[in-house]
Structure 1
């Protein structure tokens, strides 16, 4: 991860509509899922298609990274993706293998904590998960020449599922950014120029920003539900002011809360 210590600092930013999440996401058993449920039939986290629609909210306060890609980036992404997609499963396995090498503790936050690249093809849940991961980028590439609203909504929901994973922190997304770039470089060799790296880094940052937004929306909606349900009467303004801003009613740390020591340890491991 190098010296990258900032928290997903955006470049140019544009106003985007804040979306609210379906209620079934807020009633999770907290086991979480890193898969897009529409790609995992039979999964315990799957939901009927009609429940996966994201509802528009009246809030327009959310800012996400500028999603405009220039012509050169378009050409780079569209021309290099077929090489990667030719073996989506194999290359996806390499991404996860690199991610675990960068940050071994990442296995604790995935639905599989034993990752054996030689036997992975025999593990259907893991195989499905890897393919769903790669499908995120297939969808992102496919959205370059079209409407990105559907991609945005799907990634927002996927981010909410990440927030349901106990101990999840948005910093962990950076591990996958690094592992993806490492994997693509190993596949393209000298063709993975600095310009190609920047184009892919831009796309990965775009995806990560929306996933992070989904994490935060999940926590925000969960806090609202718990606040409304915890007392039979409304708290007074004084009681609300006394409630610590960094304390969550769920009792779980926020996905954005890492102490300086945790951050230092995280970045000391991620090399």
Structure 2
């Protein structure tokens, strides 16, 4: 969807097939999926922002260390997630399913964005 983003993470010379098998990529993706899992597991929490937001904000804040990372990449990532979910779920990716996952990804990426912005301000 946005091949230039691969440069930020050092995967610019890799094809998708090799990249998804790379240990560093798998670790990075695994950490993100743990964050998504935390959001989903706590979706009915009376205080989701207290239980999950700090994790997501910390994750976002860590991305100031990636040279060339741009805050707009967060929106690209959100769109890519929905595209991957649609591919993987196929017919099970109903409009209701899409709406639910979209809400999860909006929540996750917005908290991530807040953490990134806060960390950038600390570095100024």
| 1:125 maps to 2:21 | no
Q: Is the 8 A contact 2:35 2:55 kept in 1?
A: no
Q: 1:166 aligns with which of 67, 78, 81?
A: 67
| Distance of 2:103 and 2:79 partners within structure 1 | 12
Where 1:205 maps in the other structure, the secondary structure is helix
Q: Does 1:176 align with 2:77?
A: yes
List, as ranges, runs of 4+ consecutive aligned residues in structure 1 with deviation greater than 6 Å: none
Structure 1 CA distance for aligned equivalents of residues 54 and 85 of structure 2: 26
Deviation of 1:122 (Å): 5.6
**Aligned mates of 1:215, 1:117 — CA distance in 2:** 26
Name the counterpart of 1:103: 2
Tell which has more relative contact order, 1 or 2 (C-alpha 8 A, sep 6+): 2
Q: CA deviation at 1:172?
A: 0.6
Q: Which residue of 2 aligns with 1:151?
A: 52
Q: Which has the higher helix share?
A: 2
- Report how many residues are paired: 122
Partners of 1:118 and 1:162 lie apart in 2 by 24
| 1:37-60 residue CA offsets vs partner (Å, 9 max, x unmatched) | xxxxxxxxxxxxxxxxxxxxxxxx
Provide the rounded CA distance (Å) in 1 between the counterparts of 2:20 and 2:118. 35
**Residue deviations 1:7-28 (CA, integer Å, cap 9, x gap):** xxxxxxxxxxxxxxxxxxxxxx
The secondary structure found in structure 2 opposite 1:215 is: helix
Write the mapping of 1:193-204 to structure 2, written as runs, cut at 5 A.
193-204=94-105
Counterpart of 2:33 in structure 1 is 134
1:213 counterpart residue number: 114
Name the CA shift for 1:194/1:167 in 2 (closer, same or farther; >3 Å): same
TM-score (norm 1): 0.41
Aligned counterparts of 2:24 and 2:120: Cα–Cα separation in 1: 27
Bigger Cα displacement from structure 2, 204-213 vs 111-120:
111-120
Shift of 1:106: 0.6
Superposed CA deviations along residues 226-260 of structure 1, whole A, max 9, x for unmatched, are: xxxxxxxxxxxxxxxxxxxxxxxxxxxxxxxxxxx
For structure 2, the 5+ residue unaligned runs are: none
Larger Rg: 1
Secondary structure in structure 2 of the residue aligned to 1:167: coil
Asked if 1:187 is matched to 2:91, the reply is no
